[in-house]
Every structure is written in C-alpha cells, then in structure tokens.
Amino acid sequence: MDAIASKSISSINLSIYRYDPDSGKKPYMQDLSIDIPEGQDIMVLDLLNMAKEQDPSISFRRSCGEGVCGSDGMNINGKNGLGCITPLSEALKGNKIVLRPLPGLPVIKDLIVDMKQFVDQYKKIKPYLINDEEKPEREIKQTVEEREKLDGLYECIMCGCCSTACPSFWWNPDKFLGPAALLQAHRFISDSRDTATDERLDQLEDAFSVFKCHGIMNCVSVCPKGLNPTKAINEIKKKLVKRAL
C-alpha cells in the first residue's frame, strides 16, 4: 500500500499479449496506459479489469477474486501467478507491467490458454478416492495425524501455474504428468482411506510419469498456494524405490 503511495505512481504502462487466431493476425503486445487510484494497492486483476473498460475485447478468465478458484493464472512480468492476489506493488518493474498467458499451453485468446493437456494429466492419476471396502454407517475414521498428511496436498486449486513453469512439462506435456497432477497423485496415495496405493504406484513407475522431474523447483517458487509439488514428487519417488527393494 505505502510503496505505491510514496512513489505516487498514478499511471501504469501495461503491456499485454493479444491474440485471436480467428482474426488472421499474428500475436502482438498491446500497450495501454492506465491511471490507478493513488495511495491504494490494487491487484493485477483490478488493473486488467480497468484495461478491459478501455478495451472490452481484452480477454482473460476470472471468478473468485480471492485466490481460491484458480481461474486467473497468468505470466506476470515473467513469473507465473494469480492476477487476483498479486499486488501491483509486488509485480511492477518501475511503472511497467507485462502480462502474458501461462507459457507452454496453446493460446485460445489473449491470456486464455487451453487447459486440456493440464486437465488430462490430472484425470490420468485417478483423482478420486478409491475404497472398495464396505462403508461404515458414519465416517471412515481417520486420526488427526493421518489427516495431517493431506495438508499441503489437498489445497491445490488447479491454476496451472506450476506445470506451465516446469521445463519437463513443456517438453513432454502428454507424457510427464507435471507437478500439479503428481501433487494430486500423492494426495490420494497419502490418504489413509484410499485402498489403491499399489495400483497408483504401479501407474507412476514408468520412466516418464515421475522420473522426468529433475527437481528444478520452478513449480514450488510459483505456486500461489504455497504448496510444494517437488516434495510430493520426491515422496512418490521414495515410495517407488522402497517398494522395489
């Protein structure tokens, strides 16, 4: 808040990636100058909404405005993040900000990418509880400690920031499951109520699914929810190795 006030910036130079394949035009960067209310720290998404008032054809996804729905993953001055919870004061370089779509996925229009590959990888890991046992009338019991194992895993909002920052995912988006899907895989492997751990590990055993992760940690540094896919992937690797012994 104060950073902006003291610099008393009132005009922001926004450079935004524009592309509509139907238009026949190549992608280009559109430059806009946007006046922001002084002394208030707005979010990148607020800036985009103001830009859209100037030019209603600018397209981006948004819904919750509070970092829980995962709609507005984008590349902000070179780093993936959510527009709605990234304050301008953090994102600005001087008074300039460059917004691009998440890298590595096909662009549908402007900041909107096609999430199909990302979601397909998620679906592959069977992202649902498998428990073939007879269900009790009440809840399946789980201790506080067992439940704690899911912390840091279940909170993923499927924004795609991590996987689209991951070089291994860029090169093999159809084979390497990517950090988000692997985090989910680990969420179900770790759930004391899930009875399919072995099948899940079987599926992850081939050379690509897990082992293409080289621990570059891009995923960790961009995750807006502070999750740690690298750690989850290492846990899976450990389980696979232990099982092989």
Cβ-contact 69, 58 below 8 angstroms: no
Per CB under 6 A, 229 contacts ligand SF4? yes
Q: 71 or 230, CB closer to ligand FES? A: 71
CB atoms within 10 A of CB 245: 4
- The minimum distance between CB 15 and other proteins, in angstroms, equals 20
Q: 107 or 157, CB closer to ligand FES? A: 157
The contact pattern for ligand FES, residues 74-103, with x = CB under 6 A and - = no contact, is --------x-x-------------------
- Judged by DSSP in three states, 98 sits in strand
Helix axes 116-124 and 178-189, enclosed angle (nearest 10)? 20
> Which residues lie across from 87 on neighbouring strands?
43
37-66 positions binding ligand FES, by CB under 6 A: 62-65
Which of the stretches 33-41, 68-76, 89-97, 122-130 binds ligand FES when contact is defined by CB under 6 A? 68-76
Per CB under 8 A, 147 contacts other proteins? yes
Q: 75 or 209, CB closer to ligand FES? A: 75
Per CB under 8 A, 195 contacts other proteins? no
Cβ-contact 235, 215 below 8 angstroms: no
Q: Cα separation of 193 and 137, whole Å?
A: 15
174-203 positions binding ligand SF4, by CB under 6 A: 179-180, 183
Q: 62 or 231, CB closer to ligand FES? A: 62
Per CB under 8 A, 115 contacts other proteins? yes
Q: Cα separation of 217 and 5, whole Å?
A: 34
Taking CB under 6 A as the criterion, the residue among 61, 225, 231, 237 binding ligand SF4 is: 225
Quote the DSSP letter at residue 55: -
Q: Cα separation of 236 and 54, whole Å?
A: 48
Taking CB under 8 A as the criterion, the residue among 30, 32, 95, 154 binding other proteins is: 154
- Torsion over CA of 71, 122, 115 and 80, rounded to 10 degrees? 60
Taking CB under 6 A as the criterion, the residue among 157, 196, 201, 204 binding ligand SF4 is: 157
Taking CB under 8 A as the criterion, the residue among 64, 217, 220, 240 binding other proteins is: 64
Q: Cα separation of 91 and 93, whole Å?
A: 7
Per CB under 6 A, 230 contacts ligand FES? no
Tell me whether residue 83 is exposed, middle or buried, using C-beta atoms within 10 angstroms of its C-beta: 0 to 12, 13 to 18, 19 or more. Answer: buried
* Interaction site with ligand SF4 (CB under 6 A): 156-162, 166, 168, 179-180, 183, 213-219, 223, 225, 227, 229-230, 233
